[in-house]
Each structure stands twice: as structure tokens, then as C-alpha cells.
């Protein structure tokens, strides 16, 4: 969810939001957040920290970002309570 939200925010940042800059930056932000979360878990008693959790978070973010790019490329737009195609598609 976090990856998709960052992708939406960064993708609206003008022409540089198009292409690979927004998705890559979104994934980097998510990985930094996941690593910070895991390092904080190490400080809590009875909690374990693992690199596998960071990879799982990163994989989820990558899937969400990929779905966001796919939906944007197809011109899918939510209007009201139904999903419709963008005009001209």
C-alpha cells in the first residue's frame, strides 16, 4: 500500500514523474522504511528482525507499484463508484 501511495504522489510531480523515476524512487523509499522498521524491531523485547521481512516488504511494494503502472498505462480511472476507461482509450 505504501509503495502504491508513493508512486501516485511522485507520479504527479510533472513530466519527471513519468518513466522509471517515480517507481524506482517509490521502491527505494519503501525499502528504507522497511529497513528502519526492522531495525527498530530489534530494540523491542521478544521481537525478531530479519532481512527476509525487508525483502517481503520490498516485494509487496514492487507488486503494488507495478500494478499502479499497469493501471496508469491502461488508462483506468476510478469515477464515483465504478471504474471506467479514460477518454479516448
- Segment (H or E) for 6: helix 2-11
6-61 pLDDT tens trace? 777 777 765 555 667 888 889 999 999 999 999 998 888 888 888 899 999 999 99
CB atoms within 10 A of CB 4: 20
Task: Give CA separation, 65 vs 46, 48, 72, 81, 88, in Å.
Answer: 33, 27, 10, 23, 24
Domain that holds residue 22: 2-85
* Domains of the chain: total: 1
CB atoms within 10 A of CB 24: 13
Q: Are 50 and 38 in contact (CB under 8 A)?
A: yes
pTM over 0.75: no
Amino acid at each position: 500500500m505504501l509503495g502504491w501511495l508513493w508512486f501516485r504522489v511522485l507520479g504527479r510531480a510533472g513530466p519527471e514523474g513519468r518513466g522509471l523515476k517515480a517507481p524506482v524512487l517509490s521502491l527505494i523509499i519503501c525499502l528504507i522504511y522497511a529497513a528502519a522498521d526492522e531495525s527498530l524491531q530489534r530494540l523491542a523485547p521478544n521481537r525478531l528482525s530479519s532481512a527476509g521481512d525487508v525483502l517481503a516488504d520490498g516485494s509487496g511494494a514492487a507488486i503494488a507499484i507495478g500494478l499502479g503502472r499497469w493501471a496508469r498505462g491502461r488508462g483506468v480511472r476510478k469515477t464515483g463508484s465504478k471504474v471506467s476507461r479514460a477518454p479516448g482509450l
